[in-house]
Amino acid sequence: MSNENEAFESQFVEDATSLILDPKHPGLGDVEYLKRREHFFALAREYRLADKGVPRVEYTDNDRFVWREVCAKLKPIHEAKACKMYLEGRKILQIPTEDTPQLADLSAEIKELTGFGIAPAEGLINFRDFFGYLARGKMLCTQYLRHHSKPGYTPEPDMVHDVLGHVPFLVNQEYVDYVRLVGRASQLASDEQLVAFNRLYWFGIEFGLIEEQGEIKVFGAGLLSSIGEMEFCYSDEVTRLPFDIFDVTQRDYDPTQMQQVVYVIPSVGEMRKQTEELIRKFGLDASLAS
């Protein structure tokens, strides 16, 4: 979103009550795909709003094809560029690469390890509600997959993004404590402050890089789930800046474009320290930053 007012207003839209796909979505002409997406939308929304946990779903051959294709292409890039915390999470969870995983199984395993869990998402959720789930120790995750005609592309977050981007981190206690802190603080924030927390989440949790033993590794879920973004973030076309929360929270972003500016985080601990400074600056509950 190139216009800052548009970015501000977008944080507070109401959640959709029926399936809405991007006009350029490759699945728009596929009747069977649309039926499945409508089913996934209704099922996830029902379970989420009633707090019924994560439903078990059946995946098709096309879904499994997409999953295998993406996993195979991401694997060597992850091995070379992903941060240690992510790779350790993948190893602990043993996320399958040949068959589509069930979120319910992943959620149960994560719950035992860190107390965090997964809640189903029918699609994009407004940011205050999204952060509210983090505050309660739940990561919203989708269960649908992108269209099989273009396994390397999606105009929206999907299961590839959520499971191969976010989920491996949820077995790390330092990480889940941090995202819960951001979630709790956001629930006390004004609308203007919420924009700052959203930018923090975007440039840190979604598109951050991280220092690791003298190297710069990929940390953000938006990078880790995208072959193109992982390659692009190391290119000369991208400005890589040291993480400074007061710069981060003033910078707008465009979610429809490859990210031209990314931040390098010294560590999750340092990101938390700076976040606590932001919480104090905003005059929010001091106990959050203790």
Active-site positions? 161, 166, 206, 225
Q: Residue 267 phi/psi, 5° resolution?
A: -170, 165
Which residues contact residue 133 at a Cβ distance below 8 angstroms, ignoring those fewer than 6 apart? 119, 125, 139, 140, 183
- Residues 240 and 180: beta-carbon distance below 8 Å: no
Answer yes or no: are the C-beta atoms of 166 and 221 closer than 8 Å: yes
Block residue for tokens 């819960």: 180
The torsion angle over the Cα atoms of residues 205, 210, 212 and 215, rounded to 10 degrees, is 140
Give the separation between CA 180 and CA 233, rounded to whole angstroms: 27
